[in-house]
Structure 1
Amino acid sequence: TPSYMAQYTDDPGEPGSGQPIDTGDSAYLEVIVSGTAAPETLDEDDLRNTDDAEMLEHGTQITDLETEATGTVVSFAPWEATSNYIIGLDEQRPYAVTLLEDPVRIIIDIQLDDEE
């Protein structure tokens, strides 16, 4: 079962190197998930059960999101069972993180304005 930590940061950086990340967004939510597996540690049965999911390349920027608040998500490849994500937002907004099971996954809800 993974564990997680989420917090806003003024200085988002690449895990390990600390290289600054600037996607042009106004606020950055850093999410760190511990207990994740690197692709090389998965056996053939694990890979067959991923429903053809693909591992994102280190530093992949996802911008085709269907939301008003989130501009960019930057995903970093797992390292020592830890995955890191930077979520770029238009402003700091209330958020909630939930751990669900079967299948295990982490859900991040970001509150939009009341009228949206």
Structure 2
Amino acid sequence: HRDLGVMDISLFDFDSFYGTKFGMDKAARLEYGDSQMTHAMLFTGVDLDSKGKPTKWRVENSWGDKGGDKGYHIMTDKWFDNYNYEVVVHKSCLPDDLVKIFETSEPIPLKPWDPMGALAK
């Protein structure tokens, strides 16, 4: 809900309301153009459960202070899993095994039309 600043895939139960299933997985949404990478957000906080697993994220939207709490929104981890495609993380925050992969692997060039090839179309 953009005005309230809540990003939660469980916020509305469209399946029950319409009496049908609206389930495309992330790969299908990308393939059929139902979901695209369109803008960036800055993650400013995380809520962890007792086992240290994220349950929700606090994000600052790139649209400025419109919507949410002066531009800040709450995103559930399920929404993050379903609609987040790319993250940029400083190397100092990565585990050593990922840093090693980054430093020893060759980049894989993507075609310009690949859904992962650009932030926005």
Q: State if a TM-score over 0.5 links the two structures.
A: no
Greater relative CO, 1 or 2 (CA 8 Å, sep 6+): 2
TM-score bracket for this pair, using the shorter chain length: under 0.3
Larger radius of gyration: 2
Q: TM-score, normalised by structure 1?
A: 0.22
More strand by share: 1
